[in-house]
Every structure is written in C-alpha cells, then in structure tokens.
Amino acid sequence: MCPMGRSPLCPPKPAEEKAQLLQNSEYQERMVESTFLYLTLDLPTAPLYKDEKEQLIIPQVPLFSILAKFNGSTEKEYKTYKENFLKRFQLTRLPPYLIFCIKRFTKNNFFVEKNPTIVNFPITNVDLREYLSEEVQAAHAHTTYDLIANIVHDGKPSEGSYRIHVLHHGTGKWYELQDLQVTDILPQMITLSEAYIQIWKRREDDETNQQGA
C-alpha cells in the first residue's frame, strides 16, 4: 500500500487522477445538445493479420461494437494542435430514418488511406433502445430499425468504385445498382460488403418484416 503522503514511486490511479483533474476549471465537464444529419461510426485500426499461408486477413467488427460510441459512457479522445479533450455521445432522439457513415477514409498530409474492416450487421431488427437514457427511453415506443439502403466502396481510395444496395419495399427484395446495371442480390451478400453509408428505417408496430433476413 502507498503511504498517505503519496510518493513519486506510487502514482495516482487513473480514476483518482481523473477525479483530481475534474476539480480544475479547465477540466470541468459540460453538456452540449446538437442536431445531426448522420452518425459517424469509427472503425478500429485495421491490423494486417496473416494466416498460415501468409495471406492477408481482413479484420471484422460487429456493428454494435462501433455503435457503442453513442452509449453515453464510451469516451473518445480528440486532439488538436492546441489541446486534447474527451467526448461522450448519447442519443436523445430517434428519428424515423437514421444514416450511418462508417468512417473508412482518413487523410494525412500526403495521401488518403482506407480501412478495409468488414462491419458485421444484421439486415433487420437493430434495436437502439440501449443508446438512450432511461428518461428518453420512456418517450420512445419504437426503437427498432431495418436497413433499406447500403452504399459500398470497393477498391483503393483513389481508384475505387461504388455500389448501392436498395430494398424494394413492395416486394421485400434487395437489388444492387452499379452504373446502369441493376441485379438481384441476396440479403446475406450485403453483409459481406465494405459498407460505407447506410440508411435505416424505424419500424412501427403496424409494419411487417418483408425482408426475410
């Protein structure tokens, strides 16, 4: 155990150090409410794994892991040339439609890099209730969303191309659009793509699931 007069060889624990910093005015927490057009989902840094045949393995991450950014407790660090600060995000309202932008591209002084991590996501029944505070949950009877559109980026950042997956609401069938070509696609194939932008529709009680996924 450390003595009451803490020595340099016994540094404060992270929780204790954070509590001390919060006593200073520059470290005081403040809450800001802002509207959003879309939610940016951050991908973990993509390591280059190799299997026994020295083939590159593309990492994968569950959708709910990157949605944890909005659970109200996960902290994200932001750095500028002047200061560093932490932010926590929590949803205070669930609109009829949600747009997810999966942050695949990062730009430095020389070039743009792309993160190829595959996001594993269900096509239907994505419940966002846990990302609302208890008070806000009471005001939201419907918190479940179904995917209705998925934009994919293939290839390198400077040479890649885009594909769009769209749900036909009347038939419940999915279609893939690229340039002037339109083809059927199975819902299972959509989840294997490098999703970039997604549009989700909130499900109401009187709606039935026609997607079959």
**pLDDT by residue (tens digit) across 183-206?**
999 999 999 989 999 999 999 875
Mean pLDDT of the region 31-53? 78
pLDDT at 26: 59
CATH 3.40.50.450 given to domain 35-47+55-202: no
CA dihedral over 182, 183, 187, 190, signed as positive or negative = negative
Q: What tokens were used for 63?
A: 């959708």
DSSP letters, 73-113, are EEEEEEE-SS-EEEEEEEBS---SEEEEEEE-EEE-SS-EE
Average pLDDT over residues 101-119: 89
pLDDT at 3 over 50: no
- The residues with which 190 forms a beta bridge, in sequence order, are none
Is the separation of the CB atoms in 24 and 52 below 8 Å?
A: no
Can you tell me the distance from the alpha carbon of 87 to that of 69, in angstroms, rounded to the nearest whole number?
A: 10
- How far, in Å, CA of 115 to CA of 46, rounded? 6
* Higher pLDDT, residue 111 or 213: 111
Instruction: Give the pLDDT of residue 158.
Output: 80
DSSP annotation of 132: B
What residue spans define the domains of the chain?
A: 35-47+55-202
Predicted local distance difference test score (pLDDT) of residue 111: 85
Residue 8's pLDDT band, with cuts at 50, 70 and 90, is: very low
- Which region holds residue 92: left if phi is over 0, alpha if psi is between -120 and 50, else beta? alpha
Candidates 208, 175, 170, 47; CA nearest to 116 is 47
Instruction: Give the span between the Cα atoms of 6 and 8, in whole angstroms.
Output: 7
Query: Cα(27)–Cα(30) distance, rounded to whole angstroms?
Result: 9
